[in-house]
Structure 1
Amino acid sequence: MITNTILAWSSGTPGYRTGAASDNGTCDADGCHNLYSLNSGSAIFLIKPQTAYSAGKAVKIKVAFSNSRGKKHGFEMTALDADGNRVGTFKKIGNTTQVISPGDPARELDKADKGKYIEQGTKGVKKKSWVFKWTPPGSATDPVKFYAAGCEADGKGTAGDDYVYTTTAEINASTP
Structure 2
Amino acid sequence: MFFAAIQHSIKKALPGLLAIGCLIVFPASLLMNQAGAPAMRTGAPGDGDGTPGNSGSCADAGCHNTYPVNSGIGSVTIDAPAEFLAGVPLEFMVSVEDTSRFRFGFQTTIKTAAAENVGTFELIDSNTRFATGNSNYVTHTLANSNAQWTVRWTPPAELTEDVTIYAGGNAADGRFTPASDYTYETEVLLQFAQPSGIDDQDDPASSPRLEAFPNPASSIVSLVFESGQENDARLQVFDLLGKIVYEAPSGPIASGQTIDVNVTNFPAGVYIGKLIVGTRSISTTFSVVK
Establish whether TM, by shorter chain, passes 0.5: yes
The total of aligned residue pairs comes to 164
Q: How does the TM-score come out when normalised to structure 2?
A: 0.53
Q: 2:117 corresponds to which letter in structure 1?
A: R
Give runs of ≥4 in structure 1 deviating > 3 Å: none
Aligned to 2:170: 151
CA contact (8 A) 1:72 1:127 kept: yes
Partner of residue 105, structure 1: none
- 2:16: which partner in 1? none
1:172, CA displacement in angstroms? Answer: 1.2
**Matches of 1:68 and 1:144, distance apart in 2:** 31
Q: Does 1:90 align with 2:110?
A: no
Counterpart position of 1:134: 153
Q: Please, which runs of 5 or more residues in structure 2 have no aligned partner?
A: 1-24, 49-55, 197-290
Structure with higher Rg: it is 2
**Structure 1 vs Structure 2: percent identity of aligned residues?**
31
* Highest RCO, 1 vs 2 (Cα 8 Å, sep ≥ 6): 1
Partner of 1:121: 141
Preserved contact between residue 30 and residue 177 of structure 2 (Cα < 8 Å):
no
1:160: Cα distance to partner? 3.5
Q: By how many angstroms is 1:68 displaced?
A: 3.3
Shift of residue 65, structure 1, vs aligned partner: 1.8
Q: Aligned in 2, Cα 1:152/1:54: closer, same or farther, shift over 3 Å?
A: same
Q: Indicate if the aligned counterparts of 2:98 and 2:171 stay in contact, CA closer than 8 A.
A: no
Partner-residue secondary structure (3-state), 1:10: coil
Q: Give the structure-1-normalised TM-score.
A: 0.85
Q: Deviations over 1:32-66 (max 9, x none)?
A: 21111111000121111112111111100100123
* Higher helix fraction (1 or 2): 1
CA contact 1:76–1:148 (8 Å) conserved in 2: yes
Q: Hey, what's the Cα distance between the residues in 2 that align with 1:9 and 1:22?
A: 21
Taking the TM superposition and a 5 Å limit, the aligned residue runs for 1:49-68 are 49-68=80-99
- Of Structure 1 and Structure 2, the greater strand share is in 2
